[in-house]
Each structure stands twice: as structure tokens, then as C-alpha cells.
A = this chain, B = another copy of it.
Amino acid sequence: METVVRARSFWHAKIRIDTDRPIEFVDLTDRLRALVAEAGIRFGFVNVQSLHTTAAIVVNEHEPLLLTDFATLLESAAPAGHYRHDDATIRTVNVTADERVNGHAHCRALLLGASACINVIDGALQLGRWQRVFLVELDGPRDRDISVLILGEGGR
């Protein structure tokens, strides 16, 4: 939650998250509410964007057992195992020195999506009673960057 830039009716912040586990749900909601309050807008959009291909942004409930259910769902939808992306004998593109076995993590990210756009109404991030916004780590531990762009009016 650094580097808030004010550009007329746009505000930008980067949120840095260091994850600890292979799959992890990091609740961003309080940080996002603080950014909206700082912008001081009445109406607007907040677009929350993961800058990674093995980390996603989702909106759902923050109930710890449910988060383990979500992990089980992702492991079932895209099981760890053989992915051509991880086959060093045939791969030639985007190869780095610290290449991870993470084809499954890319597939899980594909199913979840890289961003969420949330309304701001009457000065508040518009979320239902149980809704929270999460970064979903799918190939942790990693350092992750999230781009938050707020557009709005009616601000201070």
C-alpha cells in the first residue's frame, strides 16, 4: 500500500504481498477500503489487478475452512502433475534460471482471472455482507505486486 499517485480523478497504488505457502488467500479488503478512504471519492471504480501469471484476484467469503475447500477445488480442476510448460526437454521460450514446476499454477490462475473491478458507492467500496477481495497465491512462496487503480469523483 505504497506510492499513491494523485492524477486528477485517478489514484494509483501498488500493494506488495509476500506469501508463505504454495496456495494462499490474502485478504486485501481492508487495504482497499483504506485506499478508497484516502482518495475520498463518493462514486467510482476500483480495479484490482494481479501483475502475475500464477496469482489471481477473486471476491468471495473469508471463512478459513472455505478457503481450504477452494484450494481443494483448484487442486481438482488443475492437478499437480505433468504439464508441457514444465518439461525442460522440450521447452525453449521464457526459460529463466530459477524456473519452477508450475504449469498447474498457471492453469489455476487462468480459471480464476487476474483482476476484479469493484464499485464505489456513497464513499464505500461496494461489497456484500460476506464479500472480501483476495489475492490468490498459486505458486508460493513469492513476492507479489498488485496494481490498484481508483477512478472517482466527489472527492475532497
Contact = CB atoms under 8 A, between A and B. Distances in A.
Interface of A: 5, 7-10, 12, 42-45, 47, 49-53, 58-66, 68-70, 73, 77-78, 83-85, 87, 90-91, 93-94, 103, 106-107, 109-121, 126-131, 145, 147, 149, 151, 153-154
Residue of A58, A110, A149 with most chain B CB atoms under a 10 A cut-off: A110
Nearest to A120: B149
* Interface majority SS (helix, strand, loop, mixed), chain A: mixed
**In the assembly, how many copies of this chain are there?**
3
Given A43-B7, A113-B113, A61 B106 contact: yes
A141 B147 CA distance: 35
A127 B12 CA distance: 14
Nearest to A83: B69
Contacts of A69: 83-85, 103, 106-107
Contacts of A10: 43-44, 153
Contacts of A120: 149
Among A60, A68, A87: residue with most chain B CB under 10 A: A60
B117 A47 contact: yes
A127 B43 contact: no
A49 B118 contact: yes
A51 B128 contact: yes
15 contacts: A7-B153, A43-B149, A45-B151, A49-B117, A51-B126, A51-B129, A63-B91, A63-B94, A66-B106, A69-B84, A69-B103, A70-B110, A73-B77, A94-B130, A113-B113
